[in-house]
Amino acid sequence: MSLVKIQMADIDDAAILTDIKKNVFDAEKVKWLSDQEDVVDYNIQPPGYDCIETGKYMIRELNYYKVLYDGEMVGGLIVTVAGKRHGRVDRIFIEPRHQGKGIGTEVMKLMEGEFPKVKTWELETSSRQVNNHQFYEKAGYRKVFQSEDEFCYEKKKPEEEGTGDEISKLTILGDTLKDVDLSEIQVEHSKMVKTDFYAIDGSHSSFSNSNLSRTHFSNCNLSHARFQNINLQHTLIADLNLSHSEFVHVTLGVVHIHDTTLGVGDEPMKFERCELKGSRFQNCNMTNVELSDCDLRGMKINGILVKDLLEAYTQVKR
Protein backbone atom coordinates (compact mmCIF):
# COMPACT_ATOMS: atom_id res chain seq x y z
CA MET A 1 0.00 0.00 0.00
CA SER A 2 1.39 3.42 -0.96
CA LEU A 3 2.27 5.72 1.94
CA VAL A 4 1.35 9.42 2.08
CA LYS A 5 3.15 11.67 4.56
CA ILE A 6 3.45 15.41 5.20
CA GLN A 7 6.62 16.97 6.61
CA MET A 8 7.52 20.58 7.34
CA ALA A 9 9.36 22.00 4.33
CA ASP A 10 12.68 23.80 4.67
CA ILE A 11 14.43 26.35 2.46
CA ASP A 12 16.24 23.62 0.54
CA ASP A 13 12.85 22.32 -0.64
CA ALA A 14 11.80 25.68 -2.13
CA ALA A 15 13.03 25.04 -5.67
CA ILE A 16 11.37 21.62 -6.04
CA LEU A 17 8.12 22.80 -4.45
CA THR A 18 8.05 25.86 -6.72
CA ASP A 19 8.51 23.65 -9.79
CA ILE A 20 5.68 21.36 -8.68
CA LYS A 21 3.45 24.34 -7.88
CA LYS A 22 4.13 25.85 -11.31
CA ASN A 23 3.28 22.56 -13.04
CA VAL A 24 0.03 22.27 -11.08
CA PHE A 25 -1.26 25.81 -11.54
CA ASP A 26 -0.14 26.08 -15.16
CA ALA A 27 -2.06 22.87 -15.88
CA GLU A 28 -5.11 24.33 -14.11
CA LYS A 29 -4.89 27.43 -16.29
CA VAL A 30 -4.87 25.29 -19.43
CA LYS A 31 -7.82 23.29 -18.11
CA TRP A 32 -10.06 26.14 -16.95
CA LEU A 33 -8.88 29.29 -18.74
CA SER A 34 -7.68 28.08 -22.14
CA ASP A 35 -10.61 29.83 -23.85
CA GLN A 36 -10.48 32.91 -21.56
CA GLU A 37 -6.99 34.35 -22.08
CA ASP A 38 -8.02 37.80 -20.82
CA VAL A 39 -9.31 36.46 -17.47
CA VAL A 40 -7.13 36.79 -14.36
CA ASP A 41 -8.08 34.24 -11.69
CA TYR A 42 -5.86 34.37 -8.61
CA ASN A 43 -7.23 31.10 -7.26
CA ILE A 44 -6.14 29.29 -10.41
CA GLN A 45 -2.80 31.11 -10.62
CA PRO A 46 -2.04 32.64 -7.19
CA PRO A 47 0.35 35.63 -7.09
CA GLY A 48 3.95 34.42 -6.89
CA TYR A 49 3.06 30.77 -7.46
CA ASP A 50 6.02 30.40 -9.87
CA CYS A 51 8.48 32.50 -7.83
CA ILE A 52 11.03 30.70 -5.69
CA GLU A 53 11.42 33.74 -3.41
CA THR A 54 7.70 33.67 -2.65
CA GLY A 55 8.09 29.99 -1.84
CA LYS A 56 10.95 30.73 0.55
CA TYR A 57 8.88 33.42 2.25
CA MET A 58 6.00 30.99 2.78
CA ILE A 59 8.36 28.33 4.15
CA ARG A 60 9.77 30.86 6.63
CA GLU A 61 6.50 32.46 7.73
CA LEU A 62 3.70 29.90 7.28
CA ASN A 63 3.07 26.24 8.02
CA TYR A 64 4.40 24.87 4.75
CA TYR A 65 4.42 21.09 4.36
CA LYS A 66 5.89 18.99 1.61
CA VAL A 67 3.75 16.03 0.54
CA LEU A 68 5.60 12.73 0.21
CA TYR A 69 4.23 9.76 -1.69
CA ASP A 70 6.29 6.61 -1.16
CA GLY A 71 9.16 8.93 -0.24
CA GLU A 72 8.91 11.11 -3.36
CA MET A 73 8.02 14.79 -3.02
CA VAL A 74 4.84 15.16 -5.07
CA GLY A 75 3.14 18.29 -3.71
CA GLY A 76 2.70 20.81 -0.96
CA LEU A 77 0.31 22.04 1.67
CA ILE A 78 0.33 25.59 3.07
CA VAL A 79 -1.69 26.33 6.19
CA THR A 80 -2.28 29.38 8.40
CA VAL A 81 -3.52 28.80 11.94
CA ALA A 82 -4.99 31.87 13.66
CA GLY A 83 -5.47 31.75 17.40
CA LYS A 84 -6.19 28.34 18.85
CA ARG A 85 -9.20 27.10 16.93
CA HIS A 86 -9.20 28.53 13.40
CA GLY A 87 -7.22 27.27 10.44
CA ARG A 88 -7.00 28.25 6.80
CA VAL A 89 -5.89 26.08 3.89
CA ASP A 90 -3.88 28.55 1.81
CA ARG A 91 -2.67 26.09 -0.82
CA ILE A 92 -2.83 22.38 -1.51
CA PHE A 93 -1.25 21.12 -4.71
CA ILE A 94 -0.37 17.68 -6.03
CA GLU A 95 1.77 17.00 -9.10
CA PRO A 96 -0.64 16.38 -12.05
CA ARG A 97 0.73 12.89 -12.76
CA HIS A 98 -0.08 11.85 -9.18
CA GLN A 99 -3.58 13.30 -9.03
CA GLY A 100 -6.53 10.91 -8.76
CA LYS A 101 -4.69 8.56 -6.39
CA GLY A 102 -6.34 9.79 -3.18
CA ILE A 103 -3.23 11.69 -2.09
CA GLY A 104 -5.05 14.99 -1.59
CA THR A 105 -7.76 13.35 0.52
CA GLU A 106 -5.15 11.75 2.76
CA VAL A 107 -3.25 15.04 3.06
CA MET A 108 -6.38 16.81 4.33
CA LYS A 109 -6.81 14.12 7.00
CA LEU A 110 -3.16 14.38 8.01
CA MET A 111 -3.50 18.17 8.22
CA GLU A 112 -6.38 17.90 10.68
CA GLY A 113 -4.33 15.44 12.71
CA GLU A 114 -1.45 17.94 12.90
CA PHE A 115 -3.78 20.57 14.38
CA PRO A 116 -6.26 18.71 16.60
CA LYS A 117 -7.31 21.89 18.46
CA VAL A 118 -8.49 23.61 15.27
CA LYS A 119 -12.27 23.43 15.18
CA THR A 120 -12.94 25.47 12.03
CA TRP A 121 -11.10 25.13 8.71
CA GLU A 122 -11.71 27.50 5.81
CA LEU A 123 -10.47 27.90 2.24
CA GLU A 124 -11.23 29.56 -1.09
CA THR A 125 -11.18 28.13 -4.57
CA SER A 126 -12.09 29.34 -8.04
CA SER A 127 -15.72 29.09 -9.07
CA ARG A 128 -14.40 27.55 -12.30
CA GLN A 129 -12.61 24.61 -10.69
CA VAL A 130 -15.56 22.23 -10.45
CA ASN A 131 -13.33 19.30 -9.50
CA ASN A 132 -12.13 21.26 -6.45
CA HIS A 133 -15.73 21.82 -5.32
CA GLN A 134 -16.36 18.08 -5.41
CA PHE A 135 -13.07 17.34 -3.64
CA TYR A 136 -13.68 19.72 -0.74
CA GLU A 137 -17.33 18.76 -0.32
CA LYS A 138 -16.34 15.08 -0.18
CA ALA A 139 -13.82 16.04 2.55
CA GLY A 140 -16.64 17.49 4.67
CA TYR A 141 -16.47 21.17 3.68
CA ARG A 142 -19.61 23.15 2.98
CA LYS A 143 -19.93 26.23 0.80
CA VAL A 144 -20.51 29.37 2.88
CA PHE A 145 -20.02 32.04 0.20
CA GLN A 146 -20.22 32.18 -3.56
CA SER A 147 -19.41 34.88 -6.10
CA GLU A 148 -18.92 34.86 -9.85
CA ASP A 149 -15.21 34.11 -9.42
CA GLU A 150 -14.81 32.45 -6.03
CA PHE A 151 -16.31 29.83 -3.74
CA CYS A 152 -15.54 29.86 0.00
CA TYR A 153 -15.74 26.65 2.01
CA GLU A 154 -15.76 25.89 5.72
CA LYS A 155 -15.50 22.75 7.81
CA LYS A 156 -16.48 22.74 11.46
CA LYS A 157 -15.49 19.91 13.76
CA PRO A 158 -18.14 19.02 16.36
CA GLU A 159 -17.59 20.59 19.77
CA GLU A 160 -16.86 18.26 22.66
CA GLU A 161 -19.05 18.68 25.72
CA GLY A 162 -17.57 20.83 28.42
CA THR A 163 -14.89 22.39 26.24
CA GLY A 164 -16.80 25.52 25.19
CA ASP A 165 -15.43 28.85 26.40
CA GLU A 166 -17.82 30.58 28.77
CA ILE A 167 -18.05 33.88 30.58
CA SER A 168 -19.52 33.18 33.99
CA LYS A 169 -20.11 36.78 34.95
CA LEU A 170 -20.17 40.10 33.12
CA THR A 171 -19.98 43.53 34.66
CA ILE A 172 -22.15 45.78 32.49
CA LEU A 173 -22.69 49.44 33.36
CA GLY A 174 -25.12 51.01 30.88
CA ASP A 175 -23.58 50.14 27.54
CA THR A 176 -20.11 49.49 29.01
CA LEU A 177 -18.48 46.13 29.70
CA LYS A 178 -15.89 46.97 32.36
CA ASP A 179 -13.20 45.31 34.48
CA VAL A 180 -13.80 41.85 33.04
CA ASP A 181 -11.13 39.26 32.30
CA LEU A 182 -11.93 37.87 28.85
CA SER A 183 -8.61 36.09 28.41
CA GLU A 184 -8.58 32.81 26.48
CA ILE A 185 -12.20 33.08 25.26
CA GLN A 186 -13.32 32.60 21.68
CA VAL A 187 -15.67 35.15 20.07
CA GLU A 188 -17.27 33.78 16.92
CA HIS A 189 -19.94 35.00 14.48
CA SER A 190 -20.74 38.01 16.65
CA LYS A 191 -21.68 41.59 15.77
CA MET A 192 -19.39 44.24 17.26
CA VAL A 193 -20.26 47.14 14.92
CA LYS A 194 -19.15 50.55 16.31
CA THR A 195 -17.67 48.90 19.40
CA ASP A 196 -15.02 50.89 21.29
CA PHE A 197 -12.02 49.22 22.93
CA TYR A 198 -10.17 51.39 25.41
CA ALA A 199 -7.23 50.53 27.69
CA ILE A 200 -7.39 46.89 26.61
CA ASP A 201 -4.55 44.39 26.93
CA GLY A 202 -5.06 42.47 23.69
CA SER A 203 -1.57 41.02 23.40
CA HIS A 204 -1.34 37.70 21.55
CA SER A 205 -4.91 38.09 20.29
CA SER A 206 -5.92 36.96 16.81
CA PHE A 207 -8.37 38.36 14.27
CA SER A 208 -9.10 36.12 11.29
CA ASN A 209 -11.77 35.89 8.60
CA SER A 210 -13.24 39.13 9.97
CA ASN A 211 -14.58 42.38 8.55
CA LEU A 212 -12.52 45.19 10.09
CA SER A 213 -13.21 47.82 7.44
CA ARG A 214 -13.00 51.43 8.67
CA THR A 215 -11.43 50.23 11.92
CA HIS A 216 -9.38 52.90 13.71
CA PHE A 217 -6.18 52.00 15.58
CA SER A 218 -4.72 54.92 17.53
CA ASN A 219 -1.95 55.09 20.15
CA CYS A 220 -1.57 51.30 20.11
CA ASN A 221 1.45 49.05 20.58
CA LEU A 222 1.47 46.69 17.58
CA SER A 223 5.08 45.57 17.93
CA HIS A 224 5.68 42.03 16.67
CA ALA A 225 2.16 41.98 15.17
CA ARG A 226 1.55 39.99 11.98
CA PHE A 227 -0.66 41.12 9.12
CA GLN A 228 -1.15 38.40 6.50
CA ASN A 229 -3.66 37.93 3.70
CA ILE A 230 -5.20 41.35 4.43
CA ASN A 231 -7.13 43.69 2.12
CA LEU A 232 -5.73 47.19 2.85
CA GLN A 233 -7.18 49.07 -0.14
CA HIS A 234 -7.65 52.82 0.47
CA THR A 235 -5.91 52.52 3.85
CA LEU A 236 -4.05 55.47 5.37
CA ILE A 237 -0.84 54.52 7.14
CA ALA A 238 0.71 57.63 8.66
CA ASP A 239 2.88 58.83 11.54
CA LEU A 240 4.36 55.37 12.14
CA ASN A 241 7.82 54.17 13.11
CA LEU A 242 8.48 51.23 10.79
CA SER A 243 12.25 51.05 11.29
CA HIS A 244 13.68 47.59 10.55
CA SER A 245 10.28 46.38 9.26
CA GLU A 246 10.07 44.19 6.18
CA PHE A 247 7.53 44.31 3.34
CA VAL A 248 7.67 41.09 1.30
CA HIS A 249 5.60 40.06 -1.74
CA VAL A 250 3.22 43.01 -1.41
CA THR A 251 1.16 44.40 -4.31
CA LEU A 252 1.69 48.19 -4.34
CA GLY A 253 -0.24 49.30 -7.45
CA VAL A 254 -1.32 52.97 -7.17
CA VAL A 255 0.18 53.20 -3.66
CA HIS A 256 1.45 56.73 -2.88
CA ILE A 257 4.49 56.96 -0.58
CA HIS A 258 5.41 60.54 0.31
CA ASP A 259 6.82 62.90 2.94
CA THR A 260 8.99 60.26 4.56
CA THR A 261 12.53 60.30 5.98
CA LEU A 262 15.28 57.76 6.51
CA GLY A 263 15.04 58.20 10.27
CA VAL A 264 17.95 58.03 12.70
CA GLY A 265 21.07 56.65 11.05
CA ASP A 266 20.01 57.35 7.45
CA GLU A 267 18.95 53.72 6.92
CA PRO A 268 17.80 53.45 3.27
CA MET A 269 14.34 53.44 1.53
CA LYS A 270 11.69 56.04 0.36
CA PHE A 271 10.13 57.82 -2.70
CA GLU A 272 8.40 61.22 -3.27
CA ARG A 273 10.14 64.15 -1.51
CA CYS A 274 12.23 61.48 0.18
CA GLU A 275 15.89 60.63 0.67
CA LEU A 276 17.14 57.49 -1.05
CA LYS A 277 20.69 57.36 0.28
CA GLY A 278 22.17 53.92 -0.18
CA SER A 279 18.94 52.29 -1.36
CA ARG A 280 19.18 49.55 -3.98
CA PHE A 281 16.85 48.57 -6.81
CA GLN A 282 17.83 45.12 -8.04
CA ASN A 283 16.16 42.87 -10.61
CA CYS A 284 13.27 45.36 -10.90
CA ASN A 285 11.08 46.38 -13.83
CA MET A 286 11.53 50.16 -14.01
CA THR A 287 9.90 50.72 -17.41
CA ASN A 288 8.84 54.37 -17.85
CA VAL A 289 10.21 55.36 -14.43
CA GLU A 290 11.03 59.09 -14.29
CA LEU A 291 13.47 60.92 -12.04
CA SER A 292 13.27 64.71 -11.90
CA ASP A 293 14.77 67.38 -9.67
CA CYS A 294 16.63 64.71 -7.67
CA ASP A 295 20.10 64.75 -6.09
CA LEU A 296 21.88 61.94 -8.01
CA ARG A 297 25.34 62.26 -6.47
CA GLY A 298 26.91 58.80 -6.20
CA MET A 299 23.93 57.08 -7.84
CA LYS A 300 24.95 54.22 -10.14
CA ILE A 301 23.23 52.15 -12.82
CA ASN A 302 24.94 48.80 -13.46
CA GLY A 303 28.01 50.16 -11.69
CA ILE A 304 28.25 53.34 -13.80
CA LEU A 305 27.81 56.73 -12.15
CA VAL A 306 24.66 58.45 -13.41
CA LYS A 307 26.65 61.70 -13.30
CA ASP A 308 29.05 60.24 -15.88
CA LEU A 309 26.22 58.92 -18.02
CA LEU A 310 24.53 62.33 -18.09
CA GLU A 311 27.82 64.07 -18.98
CA ALA A 312 28.42 61.60 -21.84
CA TYR A 313 24.85 62.13 -23.06
CA THR A 314 25.32 65.92 -22.99
CA GLN A 315 28.55 65.67 -25.03
CA VAL A 316 26.87 63.49 -27.67
CA LYS A 317 23.94 65.90 -27.93
CA ARG A 318 26.37 68.75 -28.62
**pLDDT tens digits for 32-68?**
998 877 788 889 988 889 989 889 989 998 999 999 9
Q: Return the pLDDT at 221.
A: 77
pLDDT, tens only, 133-188 = 999 999 999 999 999 999 999 999 886 654 444 455 556 556 677 777 777 777 77
What are the φ and ψ backbone dihedral angles of 82, each rounded to 5 degrees?
A: -110, 125
For the segment 282-295, the average pLDDT, to the nearest whole number, is 74
Query: What sign does the dihedral 43-230-109-18 (CA atoms) show?
Result: positive
Q: Return the pLDDT at 164.
A: 47
pLDDT, tens only, 183-225 = 777 777 788 777 777 777 888 887 877 888 878 777 777 778 8
Do the beta carbons of residue 88 and residue 121 sit within 8 Å?
yes
Question: Which pLDDT band, with edges at 50, 70 and 90, does 104 fall under?
Answer: very high
Rounded CA-CA distance 29/31 in Å is 5
Q: Which amino acid is at 181?
A: D
- Could you tell me where the DSSP H helices lie in the chain? 14-33, 52-61, 103-114, 130-138, 306-317
Question: Which pLDDT band, with edges at 50, 70 and 90, does 270 fall under?
Answer: very low
Rounded CA-CA distance 35/29 in Å is 10
What are the φ and ψ backbone dihedral angles of 11, each rounded to 5 degrees?
A: -55, -35
Q: Which amino acid is at 56?
A: K
Do the beta carbons of residue 77 and residue 67 sit within 8 Å?
yes
Which of 5-14, 39-48, 163-172, 271-280 is the least confident region?
A: 163-172
The helix/strand/coil state of 313 is: helix
What's 258's DSSP letter? B
Question: Which pLDDT band, with edges at 50, 70 and 90, does 254 fall under?
Answer: low
Average predicted confidence (pLDDT) for the chain: 82
Determine the longest span between alpha carbons in the chain, in angstroms.
87
Question: How far is residue 58 from each of residues 11, 17, 52, 79, 243, measured CA to CA in Å?
Answer: 10, 11, 10, 10, 23
What are the φ and ψ backbone dihedral angles of 154, each rounded to 5 degrees?
A: -145, 145
pLDDT, tens only, 215-237 = 877 777 777 887 877 777 777 77
Q: Return the pLDDT at 269.
A: 46
Cα dihedral value 43, 47, 51, 54, nearest 10: -100
pLDDT, tens only, 117-127 = 898 999 999 99
CATH code: domain 4-156 is 3.40.630.30
Query: What sign does the dihedral 242-51-291-268 (CA atoms) show?
Result: positive
Q: Spell out where 32-103 has E strands.
A: 63-69, 72-82, 86-94
123 bridge partner residues: 153
Would you list the domain boundaries of the chain?
Answer: 4-156, 232-318
Q: What is the pTM of this model?
A: 0.70
